[in-house]
Structure 1
Amino acid sequence: MSAFDAALARQSWSKVTDEAPTHEELLPLVAAAGRVADHSSLRPWRLIELRGDDRLRLAKAIAKADGSSEPSSKPLRAPLLIAVVASFRKSGKVPRWEQEAVASGVAHTLSLLLDEAGWGVFWRTGGYTRTKAVAKAHGLKKREELLGWLYVGGKPAGKKPSRRKAVDAEALLTRMPPEE
């Protein structure tokens, strides 16, 4: 499948099965995703695998962030969560927003690669990604921020994800205005 075909075929799978790629299966996908454009090759990102009880710890951290006594069920909706972390580096050339864009690019590219490999993927974010309880559960360092999680599992047999609206490229690809 070409990159063009993979991009056109990409869908979010909000419901996945209990199957998930192994750590060893993830490694080449992460290596490929890490090839995104990265000004000064700072690699201002890292990924954290959450499986099994890790998801329960996250469920408790989200509950704490929300002020709830009941653990959140959200982290249990997929057998594998991949936390996407922006790890900001000191740089006089590469601003913070650009470093966050690199981390986001890695996450999106990884989601395309996982989808192409046959896995169901969706990216979950939320206000609690920036809370102390959730940051602590992930062991985030001082110059790191959690951007969200890729939820990964098997694609249910016979199910199709909901279709996204077509992109109106003509409306979104514009030209610079004429000189005045």
Structure 2
Amino acid sequence: MREAALARRSASKVTDAAPDDATIIGLLAAAERVPDHAALRPWRVIALRGAARSRLGAALAEASGLSGDAAAKLAAKPERAPLLLAIVATITAHPKVPEWEQDAAAAGVAHLLNLLLDDAGWGVMWRTGPYTRHPLVADMHGLGPNEHLLGWLYVGGVPEPTRVPRATRPLTPNFSSFD
């Protein structure tokens, strides 16, 4: 797992190949092993393929209020990958599990799924943006009142099969230790 984490890189460009639903479900079975206080499973993953990506693009453009070329450019963004996995936090009122902890569990699923997809040889990039939480975008995904979008994993084939391990950075800037 350490090697997979060190080798993981975001793929800003991918090919038209994409994993099928059975592959995604199999990887989710592993990704869903994240810490989950009270076993609430406060996440949902929605696969967007084909025309669903165009509907998302239209929702993003409408949410932005842009027009002309700027709106068209924004609407085309979901077409960058053949598969988008929308990561949704599904919040349940619970006396011991606050909303932020449920968001963290859903984000953990997204991160682990990202890592698993990358390790399986797929190109992946987690994308968000200013309209991720816009009501029009939520409506496009069919989100309920207790749900909010955390972002999308853009998934596709890797154009170049060679991988260069990521250079490790020293931990000191973001690590503290107390006695």
1:82-97 maps to which residues of 2 (within 5 A)? 82-97=85-100
Instruction: Identify the residue that residue 149 of structure 1 maps to in structure 2.
Output: 152
Counterparts in 2 of 1:94 and 1:158: CA distance versus 1, 3 Å:
closer
Q: Percent identity?
A: 54
Instruction: Identify the residue that residue 175 of structure 2 maps to in structure 1.
Output: 173
Which stretch has the larger CA shift, 72-81 or 150-159?
150-159
Q: Which runs of 5+ in 1 are unaligned?
A: none
| Corresponding residue SS for 2:169 | coil
- 1:43 paired with 2:45, answer no
Pairwise CA distance, 1:63: 0.2
Q: TM-score, normalised by structure 2?
A: 0.92
Partners of 1:167 and 1:73 in 2: how far apart?
Answer: 35
Instruction: Identify the residue that residue 53 of structure 1 maps to in structure 2.
Output: 51
Aligned-residue Cα RMSD (Å) equals 1.7
Residue number among 106, 114, 118 corresponding to 2:117 in the alignment: 114
Instruction: Identify the residue that residue 63 of structure 1 maps to in structure 2.
Output: 61
Partners of 2:101 and 2:46 in 1: how far apart?
Answer: 21
Counterparts in 2 of 1:28 and 1:121: CA distance versus 1, 3 Å:
same
Moved runs in structure 1, 4+ residues, more than 3 A?
158-161, 163-166
Partners of 2:173 and 2:22 in 1: how far apart?
Answer: 42
Pairs aligned (count) = 174
Q: TM-score, normalised by structure 1?
A: 0.91
**What amino acid sits opposite 1:75 in the alignment?**
P
1:116-131 maps to which residues of 2 (within 5 A)? 116-131=119-134
| Corresponding residue SS for 2:84 | strand
Partners of 1:68 and 1:159 in 2: how far apart?
Answer: 39
Partners of 2:11 and 2:95 in 1: how far apart?
Answer: 39
Q: Which runs of 5+ in 2 are unaligned?
A: none
The answer on whether the counterparts of 2:6 and 2:166 sit within 8 Å (CA) in structure 1 is no
